[in-house]
Chains A and B, each alone.
Chain A
Amino acid sequence: MTYLTDVAALTRKDLRVELRARDTLPAMLLFVLSTLVVFHFALPEGTGDDAAYGLLWVAIVFTALLGLARAWVPEHEHGVLDGLVLAPSDRSAIWLGKTLATLAFLVAAQVVALPAFVVFFAPLDLTALAGVLLADIGICAVGSLMAAMAASSRSREVLLPLLVLPLAIPLIVGGVGAAISPEGERYLLLLALYDGIFAVLSWASFEYVVTE
Chain B
Amino acid sequence: MSTSLIRTLPGLAALAAGLMGLAIVLALIVAPEDADQGISQRIFYIHVPIALTAYFCFGLGAWKALLLLWRGDERYDLESYVAIHQGTIFGALTLITGSIWARASWDVWWTWSSNQLVLFLVLFLFYCAYFMLRFSLEEGARRARSSAVYALFGVVLIPISFLAIRLAEDFIHPTVFTREGPQMTGTMFATFCVSWAALTLLAYVLYRVELAGKRLDADLRELREVLL
Contact = CB atoms under 8 A, between A and B. Distances in A.
Interface of A: 50, 142, 145, 149-150, 152-156, 159, 162-163, 165-167, 169-170, 173-174, 176-177, 180-181, 183, 186-187, 190, 193-194, 197-198, 201, 205, 208-209, 211-212
A149 B156 contact: no
Given A152-B137, A153-B133, A163-B129, A194 B160 contact: yes
Interface stretch (B12-20, B26-34, B161-169, B183-191): B161-169
Nearest to B161: A170
Given A162-B129, A212-B140, 10 more contacts: A150-B133, A153-B133, A166-B157, A167-B126, A170-B160, A173-B164, A177-B171, A190-B167, A193-B163, A201-B153
A169 B153 contact: no
A198 B156 contact: yes
Contacts of A169: 122, 161, 164
14 contacts: A142-B153, A152-B137, A153-B136, A169-B122, A169-B164, A177-B171, A183-B170, A190-B167, A197-B156, A205-B69, A205-B152, A208-B145, A209-B142, A209-B146
Interface in B37-79: 69
A174 B167 CA distance: 8
Contacts of B128: 162
A167 B145 contact: no
Nearest to B124: A166
Contacts of B170: 177, 181, 183
Contacts, number: 96
A198 B149 CA distance: 12
Contacts of B164: 169-170, 173-174, 190
A67 B149 CA distance: 22
Contacts of A156: 136
Contacts of B137: 152-153
Contacts of B141: 212
A205 B129 contact: no
How big is chain B's contact interface, by range? 20 to 34
B132 A208 contact: no
A54 B130 CA distance: 27
B160 to A, nearest CB: 5
Which 5 pairs, one residue from A and one from B, show the smallest C-beta to C-beta distance?
A170-B164, A166-B126, A153-B136, A212-B141, A173-B164
B148 interface: yes
Given A152-B142, A163-B129, A209 B149 contact: yes
B160 A155 contact: no
A159 B136 contact: yes
Contact of B146 (A149, A155, A187): A149
A212 B68 CA distance: 12
Nearest to A211: B145
Nearest to A154: B136
Nearest to B140: A212
A205 B62 CA distance: 14
B153 A50 contact: no
B150 interface: yes
Q: Which of B148, B149, B157 counts the most A-chain CB atoms under 10 A from its CB?
A: B149
A205 B163 contact: no
